[in-house]
Amino acid sequence: MTDQTPAPTPAEQPAAPAAPAYAAAPGYAAAPAKPWNVLSIISLVTSILWISLVGIITGHIALSQIKRTGEQGRGLAIAGLIIGYVGIVGAIIFAIVWIGIAIAAASYGVYTN
């Protein structure tokens, strides 16, 4: 005769082993990234697109905002300012040369009948 014991019910089954009390600490999270200043991006883009006056104005505003808030984008604002000022100086030189050529052409009688 064999000893037949009934299978244990779920309530009688042994519990799963508990997690150790010395569980590993969670990993460190990365520092949150500082946001980019939008006006510094606008300054650079408009200066590259030869809208120099807008690039200069937004570049100066962006630098003051970056100084106050600590956002990223100082280099972009400075690049927008440099490109904007170079564009303004280039436009002035182009206008002076063009006017000089027009005056020279008029003095030689190119435009007279």
Phi, psi angle pair for 112, to nearest 5°: -95, 160
Identity of residue 101: I
What digits encode the pLDDT tens for the residues 38-95? 999 999 999 999 999 999 999 999 999 999 999 999 999 999 999 999 999 999 999 9
- How far, in Å, CA of 42 to CA of 6, rounded? 78
Is 72 strand, coil or helix? strand
- Does an H or E element contain 48, and which? helix 38-48
Q: Are 53 and 87 in contact (CB under 8 A)?
A: no
- How much is the pTM? 0.67
What are the domain boundaries of the chain?
38-107
